Amino acid sequence: MPKTITEQNLRLLIDSLIKEGTRVIGPRRTGTITLYEPLARGEELDLNELPRRSAKEVFFPVCENILSFQRGEEGVKVTDIDPCAFPETVLIGARPCDAAAAPVLDSVFSWDYKDEFFLQRRRKTTVIGLACTTADDACFCSAVGLSPADSKGADLFLTPVREGGYLCEALTDKGKTLITSHARLFAETSAAAPLSLNEPAGVKLDLHKIKGWLDENFESPIWKEIADRCAGCGSCAFLCPACHCFDIVDEGTEAEGHRRKFWDACGFGKFTDHASGHNPRDAQPKRYRNRIMHKFKYYDDKFGQTLCTGCGRCIRWCPVGIDIKAVLEEIQKG
Amino acid sequence: MTDMTTIPAMATITEVHPLSGDTSFFRLGLKEGEAQGFTFTPGQFVQLSVPAAGEFPISLAGSPGHGRELELCVRKAGHVTAVLHNLRPGDPVAVRGPFGTGFPVERMRGNDVILLAGGLGIAPLRSLFHYFLEHREEYGAITLMYGAREPSAILFRDELAELACRRDIRLMLTVDFLTEEPAGGPVCRVGLLPGLLMGIKLRLDQTYAAVCGPPALYRCLITELLGLDFPENRIFLSLERRMKCGIGLCCHCAVGDFFCCTDGPVFSYDRIKEIPGVI
């Protein structure tokens, strides 16, 4: 029998998890901006709109210490950070475009070196996905093979129902455990009517055809046409649920300091710049081309996946109005 | 023991001496107990941490057979290398690595080898060259062709002068410009490095080429080698990219769907020739 949970019980679930010592992260509205943030109480949960930034930072923080060093009498001592100490976390209210990005990123963070900073957070996080009822003009999840009802990447998936509350589908053991350990908050139902989810408008993209074009068109006038106005600000990469470039920087003095990992963006002019002066991507069109190639060709070549979930954030917030969906539609035309 | 993949092992600088105006030789000793059994393949690189400055990727320039002792050849080019150049013997640094795929020394065994180095590209090829010398009887004819901008920019001059006396190897040096009369040192020609290949007799089916230098050099050297009918899968080159993590995650060194830090930096030419913009 399918399970349901009421709006009120969903908030009680959050309170209960917090009480048990679990970190709960979900959409929270501060002023006019909704972000995925740690919740202090269930009532802080605000599922009305797609959060401004993606949920990627739950697994891959904007910035984190990866080791620290102190210089003492016996030389320099390096202290490791133990990823096993990361807290048990529930990510609640992740939209399909955000939940689906995590399994895509698993590929790169485990293809050769197993990055425990990412993988431990993945293991320790239960994702409660949410079917999306708020597609806007920039959304294009259904154009890249997902949909507002896609539960990929979720352990438990909520679909809003007409009577209020949510239909709950447990997709993994983590999701099942969450339900059984809070069974009193869930009800069984035989007749819950899911709210209709509005599919994002726009052309369905043929990712295979797009990749075929990218295979042949490393050199094309299109890159200059699009990217001449790109300011190289990196907003697209920082808002993207799937971009995963990072930089490593040492901060501190000779006496002590930290090594930190920061998000980076291949759109930045210095991204591939060598101290020698050699820069393989020395102009913005080359950098924009890399962004598209990485998402729709290289990642596919290497891992058989597309590094884009169609969340549309890069379209919504690009300061010069570059629209990746329009670029892909143009490419699709050949 | 330190897992030198993400956590650097401590090392001490044991020797520093200048090789040219902006490039110096550094010998490091990895701290005992931290880097037991450290070894590498010529062509691999390490990430060198300089306290309070940061990390930079650098080729290992010495023979892999020296255990905890590492040799590096570092040009003062950016912030971190500039700080390193101010350090002296006894100062601490730290090392992650070795990273990447080096030259296929096993596959090259029993064959002739020709090493083509341009400028600072001599660093990883010096490692390979020393490896061959230490296993001299396992390889056929060994040729090192090395080109520098001008005589004062030739690195490892004293070492090369000594090697020039050996009869079991062939050493050919050239400089782009002869701006001054070289004061001693090995004999060298004037002209670009690819010019040294002209008139050279190679046993094409029994020779491997190892190339390292600036990107512009690759374009003309590859053309020259292919013009000699050199097989594409016997040309190995080391790509210069800005490696940061060293473990195939951060994307700074991505070339097509390869990561230079893990798939490379040494690639056979046939593996990368289809990737646009690669050299």
Q: The tokens of A280 are what?
A: 């393989």
Contact A56, A121 (CB under 8 A): no
**pLDDT above 90 for B221:** yes
Q: In Å, how far are A27, A52, A95, A109, A133 from A48, measured between CA atoms?
A: 9, 12, 11, 32, 9
A291 versus B188: the higher-pLDDT residue is A291
Which of chain A's residues have a Cβ under 8 Å away from the Cβ of B31?
Answer: 75
Whether the pLDDT of residue B1 is over 80: the answer is no
Least confident of A82-91, A98-107, B167-176, B191-200: B191-200
Q: Pick from A76, A115, A301: which is nearest to B257 by CB?
A: A301
Residue B179, number of CB atoms within 10 A of its CB: 12
* B3 lies in some domain: no
Grade residue B45 by pLDDT with cuts at 50, 70 and 90: very high
* Contact present, B224 and B114 (Cβ < 8 Å): no
Of B99, B134, B164, which residue sits at a domain end?
Answer: B99
DSSP E strand boundaries for B68-212: 69-75, 92-99, 112-118, 142-148, 170-175, 189-190, 207-212
Q: Given a cut of 80, is residue A50 above it in pLDDT? A: yes
Check residue A73 and report its DSSP letter. Answer: T
Q: What would the two tokens of residue B40 be?
A: 């590498």
| B251 touches A: beta carbon within 8 Å | yes
Burial class (CB in 10 A: 0-12, 13-18, 19+), B1: exposed
**Tokens, residue B189:** 């020609």
The span from the CA of A67 to the CA of A76, in Å, is 13
Residue B92 lies in a domain: yes
Confirm whether B278 is domain-assigned: no
Same domain, yes or no, for B77 and B190? no
Separation CA A267–CA A275 (nearest Å): 18
- The mean-pLDDT minimum among A153-157, B81-85, B180-184 falls in B180-184
Asked if A66 and B6 come within 8 Å (Cβ–Cβ), the reply is: yes
Beta-sheet strands, E only, within B125-238: 142-148, 170-175, 189-190, 207-212, 235-238
- Tell me what the mean pLDDT of segment B36-63 comes to: 93
- Reference A333, options A209, A221, A200; nearest CA is A209
**Which residues, other chains included, contact A12 with Cβ-Cβ below 8 Å and sequence gap of 6+?**
A42, A185
What pLDDT score was predicted for residue A198?
Answer: 79
Domain of residue B59, CATH code: 2.40.30.10
For the residues A34-60, what does the mean pLDDT come to? 97
B181 with B69, same domain: the answer is: no
**Token match 């520098």: residue?**
B148
In this predicted structure, what is the pLDDT of residue A275?
A: 82
Q: Are residues B152 and B88 in the same domain?
A: no
Which residues of B are less than 8 Å from A113 in CB distance? 5, 247-249, 262
Mean pLDDT taken over chain A: 94
Q: Which residue has the tokens 């969903």?
A: A10
Cβ-Cβ contacts under 8 Å between A and B: the total is 110
Q: With respect to residue B4, please indicate whether it lies within any of the assigned structural domains.
A: no
Give the integer Cα–Cα distance in Å for B271 and B232.
9
Strand partners, B146: B117, B173
Instruction: Work out the pLDDT band at A158, boundaries 50, 70, 90.
Output: very high
pLDDT at A44 over 70: yes
ipTM for the predicted complex comes to 0.86
Calculate mean pLDDT across residues B90-97: 93
Phi, psi of A273 (to 5 degrees): -75, 130
Q: What is the pLDDT of residue B182?
A: 61
In angstroms, the separation between the Cα of residue A200 and the nearest Cα of chain B is: 31
Distance of alpha carbon A11 from alpha carbon A165, whole angstroms? 11
Q: Which residue of A has its CA nearest to B245?
A: A248
Mean pLDDT for B19-29 is: 95
CB atoms within 10 A of CB B121: 27
pLDDT of A271 > 70? The answer is yes
Confidence of residue A18 (pLDDT cuts 50, 70, 90): very high
Asked, for residue B56, whether it belongs to a domain, the answer is: yes
Select from A266, A292, A303 the least CA-distant residue to A214. Answer: A292
Q: For chain B, what is the domain count?
A: 2
Residue B221 included in any domain: yes
E strands, A199-277, are 246-252, 256-263
Determine contact: B57 vs chain A, CB below 8 A. no
Closest CA to A258 of A62, A80, A86: A80
* Contact: B250, A71; criterion CB under 8 Å: no
Please say if the pLDDT value at position B183 is more than 70.
no
For residues B73 and B195, membership in a common domain is answered with no
| SS3 at position B229 | coil
Last residue of a domain, one of B72, B99, B126: B99
Q: Which of B263, B262, B236 is nearest to B107 (CA)?
A: B236
Q: What is the rounded distance in angstroms from the CA atom of residue B208 to the CA atom of residue B114?
A: 6
Residue range of the domain that includes A29: 3-332
Return the structure tokens found at B137. Answer: 């009887």
Assess whether B86 and B114 both reside in one domain: no
Query: What pLDDT sits at residue B189?
Result: 87
Lowest mean pLDDT among A272-281, B78-87, B258-267: A272-281
Mean pLDDT, range B120-142, rounded to an integer: 96
Query: Token digits for B275?
Result: 């990737």
Domain count, chain A: 1
Same domain, B139 and B248: yes
Q: Where among B99, B119, B141 does a domain terminate?
A: B99
Token pair belonging to A183: 């069974």
B215 and B256 in a single domain? The answer is yes
| C-alpha–C-alpha distance, residues B55 and B261, integer Å | 15
CA–CA min distance A25, chain B (Å): 25
**CB A58 within 8 Å of CB A36:** yes
DSSP state of A48: S
pLDDT digits (tens, 9 = 90+) for A213-254: 999 999 999 999 999 889 999 999 999 999 999 999 999 988
For residues B46 and B56, give the distance between their C-alpha atoms in angstroms, rounded to a whole number.
Answer: 8
How large is the average pLDDT for residues A292-321?
Answer: 96
Give the gyration radius of chain B's Cα atoms: 18
- B67 and B131 in a single domain? The answer is no
Residues B74, B117: one domain? no
Instruction: Please give the share of chain A, as a percent, with pLDDT higher than 70.
Output: 100
Q: At B150, which helix (H) or strand (E)?
A: none
Alpha carbon distance A147, A60 (integer Å):
24
Q: Do the domain assignments include residue B113?
A: yes
Tell me whether residues A302 and B77 touch, CB distance under 8 A.
no
> Cβ contacts of residue A64 below 8 Å, gap of 6+?
A81, A117, A260, A261
- Span B228-234, average pLDDT: 95
Average pLDDT over residues B248-276: 93
**How far is B169 from chain A, CA to nearest CA, in Å?**
31
At residue B130, the pLDDT reads 96
* Distance from C-alpha of A297 to C-alpha of A290, rounded to nearest angstrom: 10
Using the predicted structure, report yes or no on whether residue B179 has a pLDDT greater than 80.
no
The answer, for B149 touching chain A at a CB cutoff of 8 Å, is no
Distance CA B238, CA B265 (A): 5
B264: domain CATH number is 3.40.50.80
* CA distances from residue B16 to B26, B72, B83 in whole angstroms, order as listed: 5, 10, 13
Share of chain A above pLDDT 90, in %: 83
Residue B163 sits in the same domain as residue B253: yes
Per-residue DSSP letters for A232-291? Answer: ---HHHHH-SS---EEEEEEE-SSEEEEEEEE--TTSTTTT--TTS--SS-SHHHHHHHH
Question: Is A274's CB within 8 Å of B242's CB?
Answer: yes
**Residue B65 forms contact with A (CB below 8 Å):** no
Task: Grade residue A72 by pLDDT with cuts at 50, 70 and 90.
Answer: confident
B187 and B94 part of one domain: no
Q: What is the pLDDT of residue B277?
A: 80
pLDDT of residue B278: 85
Q: Test A294 with B251 for CB contact under 8 angstroms.
A: yes
Q: What is the pLDDT, as a whole number, of residue B188? A: 82
For B82, counting Cβ atoms within 10 Å of its Cβ (0-12 exposed, 13-18 middle, 19+ buried), the class is: middle
Q: What does the DSSP 8-state code read for residue B12?
A: E
**Residues of the domain holding B173:** 105-272
Please report the pLDDT score of residue A254 as a whole number: 84
Backbone angles phi, psi at B54, to 5 degrees: 135, -160
Q: Are residues B176 and B73 in the same domain?
A: no
pLDDT of residue B184: 67
